[in-house]
Amino acid sequence: MSRKMILLGIALLGPALTAADVAPATRSVADLKSFYQTRCASCHGDDGSARSATGAKLRGSDFTDAKAMQRKNDEALAKTIRKGVFFGFAMPSFGKDLSEAEIALLVKDILRKAEKGRAISGKTP
Ligand code: HEC
């Protein structure tokens, strides 16, 4: 292999390796709340009740409805976040944006604690 080729290889591989080496730190609950606000709230509502215009149109589940939420297990909710709904058409998949640990936190510490009328991000909408 010529020197030029080797240098080109390093130039191409370098950034890829550093990106893979530095595994992104797990987002905190606070970070995930902001993530929810920017990536989920448009459909599921600021408070998670899906009572926004879009949420209602999509017949979104109400995360603030404790009774309804009791019937769903964490893994099923996590799977939806990972895979999306209807091949990503109804809801995008977030398996590439969120780690498993982050998805678990999102379900347990955020969606399951959603309260009607209280914005998940903590910010007043
Ligand atoms: C483009 C709109 C859209 C976006 C953005 C979106 N969702 Fe959804 N989501 C839906 C729809 C539609 C459904 C299916 C109806 C329902 O169950 O709410 C759904 C379902 C779900 C469910 C399953 C609910 C159940 O009762 O089984 C979870 C959990 C969920 N979404 C979480 C999220 C999270 C977390 C985000 C952001 C990371 C997100 N969604 C972003 C549209 C969206």
Mean pLDDT of all residues in 28-52: 92
Tokens of 107: 């379900």
Q: How far is the CA of 64 from the centre of ligand 1 (A)?
A: 13
Check: CB of residue 43 under 8 Å from CB of residue 55: yes
Supply the pLDDT for residue 60.
Answer: 78
Query: Hey, whose CA ends up nearest to atom 32 of ligand 1?
Result: 81
Q: How far apart are the CA of 19 and the centre of ligand 1, in A?
A: 29
What's the rounded Cα separation, in Å, for the pair 106 and 122?
15
97: phi then psi, degrees, rounded to nearest 5: -90, -25
Ligand 1 atom nearest to CA at 94: 38
Question: How confident is the model over 94-109, as pLDDT tens digits?
Answer: 999 999 999 999 999 9
Backbone angles phi, psi at 25, to 5 degrees: -65, 145
